[in-house]
Amino acid sequence: MPDKENNFKFTSEKFVDIEILRYQVPGFENLSLKEKTLAYYLYEAALSGREIIYDQNYKHNLKIKRTLDTIVKSFAGDRKSTEFNNFLIYTKRVWFSNGIHHHYSTKKFTPEISQEYFKYLVLNSDTKKFPLTPNQTIKEFLEEITHIIFDPIVDAQRVNLDSNNDVIKTSANNYYEGLTQKEVEKYYSLIENNNSDKPISYGLNSKLVKENDEIKEKVWKVGGMYSPAIEKIIYWLEKACGITEDESQKLALNKLVEFYRTGDLKLFDEYNIAWLKDTESNVDIVSGFIEVYGDPLGYRGTYEGIVSIKDIEATKRIKAISDNAQWFEDNSPIDGRFKKKNCVGISAKVITVVVEAGDASPSTPIGINLPNANWIRKEFGSKSVNLGNIVYAYDKAASEKLLHEFCFDDEEIERAKKYAPLADNIHTDLHEVIGHGSGQINPGVGTPKQTLKNYASAIEETRADLVALYYLPDKKLLELGLLPNFEAVKAGIEKYIRNGLMLQLYRIEFGDNIEESHMRNRQLISKWAYEKGRSKYISDANLSNKQVEKDVIEKIVKDRKTFFVIKDFERLRIIFGEFLKEIQRITSEGDYEKAKYLIETYGVNVDTEIHKEVKERYAKLNIAPYRGFINPVLTPKYRDGKIVNVNISYPEDFTEQMLYYAEKYSFLQYDN
């Protein structure tokens, strides 16, 4: 995979705290015509709802968006001036956040231009295209919209979680109208009380309003709120229903259509169950009102649409590892007492994203675990997938600069460029498929959550990572065709150590310790390996009879920059193996004291000197904290009214894509 994509440009542009990236869809060309066509219909369905999130985020967002779109498209004055550029930056931020509040902090941001200049922009654009309400003059319109855009106090925060306030009244989202937090809570406590063990997700697909002292839901369905967009979604979903890959997919999509048509949340549950049972299809869609983070009380779901295809390569890779689960268990360095006799690999899935819309775009998740309803998860399980090509693009986009800064020499840089993404994937597969599934707890000892308590999850991640690190250099992986050579192994392990001892510290604030389990585990392993590999320790550890003079991992300072350079991969593997053995013992026996000692000693504290250095070196690279993506474009080729092929292309410009979407998918009224 890495080689053929060398020429693809993963980065596009940067503004304020945001970087725009691009991703590819490997494997799309190899789909059958039927699959491509299905993907295309679902792609249109996903994008058709893309404006819903704007209105959900804030009731004036669509009006603002249409205004900004119109100016960018039609402003006839100087488009090269600094002021115009500042206006453009504001517009791009609005597009990125699906509204005028920051996508992550949910705080309102305002443009770096004067109100006079904004007026000038409006008056020198295509004034017929602005979203005036009936009988409104352009002057009145300007007054109204300037107030909303420029006053930082007006609707300052989209989601307010500060429980000292009325979180409903102080949140600017468009989920409630005329209601206090108390009224909303009372409304739902009455409904939810007389509940079954299969509760529907109350409030997931509606706006709650109080009109004439009566509380009612404005449901997002055909004939209800967002109807024009929902009708389009249904139009494309129904086309998809006609060419599904099998019956279970057809059943799922039909349920989804019925849900969108009626707004009946029971049908949404039925759809989710049907969707869970559809495991064989190559093409898949996540569609609906899904995540509830935008509502401080967690009822209302944001619209999102994600179309994907199965990552065939990754699926094969995972199967090869999973099929050999018992071999990995039998050959593991852990104590025989703790080995499983019947080891089955855990199933992990990787998908390739074709398009994302709504809440999932331009800023995107890298993993999905759905559905959200707890009773469905308990009874029917969930689909948990990694967005493979998105993760890959993230990695490619940031890595060049980071590699040049944090790799010791050109050899290490080249190795990382060539093999690190592949080795990373194999590491993740081994971690998920073999690592978490291996080993067993001694009879009578409780679960790690009971015995290791607050250290349980860091220890469990450590265990899974060590399994991956121990097996990465094993000949078995070459035999299975998963890794091409030992250079790839080196690249994977070097990346791990670089990250564990240095890079990941950039996310920690000065003065803070490491709290997050995965970060603790990475530092624990790297630091432990570094310490145990110091030349003075080696004879103590009884690892070998040979006299050892050099460190396994050497700390080298060059031009006042610190590097951790791996000098002996063979020995490092032995160290990983010994540590795995101990971590498995801790898990199997529930040794809380030892778990606590290891994590507190190696995983929690930050080396302040290194921390400062990493932060400084990182800051120089100017990498944006938030990143999002331009989507690929699918274009069907028709002959005699029938689709005969679907082409995929990869636009390079964010503004162009946003204007193209505005042209094609502006279905909603701007006053909901």
Question: Residues interacting with Zn ion, by CB under 5 A?
Answer: 461, 464
Choice between 398 and 434, CB closer to Zn ion: 434
Choice between 174 and 517, CB closer to Zn ion: 517
Cβ contact 318:435 at 8 Å: no
What's the rounded Cα separation, in Å, for the pair 432 and 349?
Answer: 10
Query: SS3 of 144, please?
Result: helix
Q: At closest approach, how far in Å is the CB of 348 from Zn ion?
A: 10
Residues 474-483 as b or e (16 or more Cβ within 10 Å = b): beebeebebb
Reading the block at residue 37, the tokens are 């066509």
Residue 18 CA, chain-centre distance (Å), reads: 15
Choice between 71 and 464, CB closer to Zn ion: 464
Choice between 291 and 460, CB closer to Zn ion: 460
Q: At closest approach, how far in Å is the CB of 317 from Zn ion?
A: 17
Choice between 22 and 427, CB closer to Zn ion: 427
Choice between 70 and 526, CB closer to Zn ion: 526
Q: At closest approach, how far in Å is the CB of 466 from Zn ion?
A: 11
Reading the block at residue 621, the tokens are 């690279």
Q: At closest approach, how far in Å is the CB of 321 from Zn ion?
A: 15
Reading the block at residue 203, the tokens are 């409030």
Side chain identity, residue 638: Y
Q: At closest approach, how far in Å is the CB of 651 from Zn ion?
A: 35
- The runs of H, that is alpha helices, within 154-264 are 181-193, 227-241, 247-262
Residue 275, classified by CB atoms within 10 Å of its CB into exposed (0-12), middle (13-18) or buried (19+), is: buried
Q: At closest approach, how far in Å is the CB of 86 from Zn ion?
A: 44
Reading the block at residue 418, the tokens are 């060539």
Choice between 257 and 434, CB closer to Zn ion: 434
ω into 371 cis (within 30 of 0): yes
Residue 469 CA, chain-centre distance (Å), reads: 24
Q: At closest approach, how far in Å is the CB of 464 from Zn ion?
A: 5
Residue 504 CA, chain-centre distance (Å), reads: 18
DSSP state of 472: T
What's the rounded Cα separation, in Å, for the pair 234 and 619?
Answer: 47
DSSP state of 99: S
Residue nearest Zn ion, CB atom distance: 464
Q: At closest approach, how far in Å is the CB of 432 from Zn ion?
A: 7
Choice between 464 and 514, CB closer to Zn ion: 464
Choice between 317 and 463, CB closer to Zn ion: 463
What's the rounded Cα separation, in Å, for the pair 573 and 578?
Answer: 9
Choice between 464 and 583, CB closer to Zn ion: 464
ω into 152 cis (within 30 of 0): no
Reading the block at residue 157, the tokens are 């925060």
- Both ends of the chain: CA-CA distance in Å? 46
Q: At closest approach, how far in Å is the CB of 447 from Zn ion?
A: 16
DSSP string, 145-188: HHHHHH-SSTT-BS----TTS-TTTT--SSSEES--HHHHHHHH
Q: At closest approach, how far in Å is the CB of 436 from Zn ion?
A: 6
Pair type for strands 176-177 and 283-289: unpaired
If one counts every other C-beta atom within 10 angstroms of the C-beta of residue 593, the result is 8
Choice between 129 and 436, CB closer to Zn ion: 436
Q: At closest approach, how far in Å is the CB of 613 from Zn ion?
A: 29
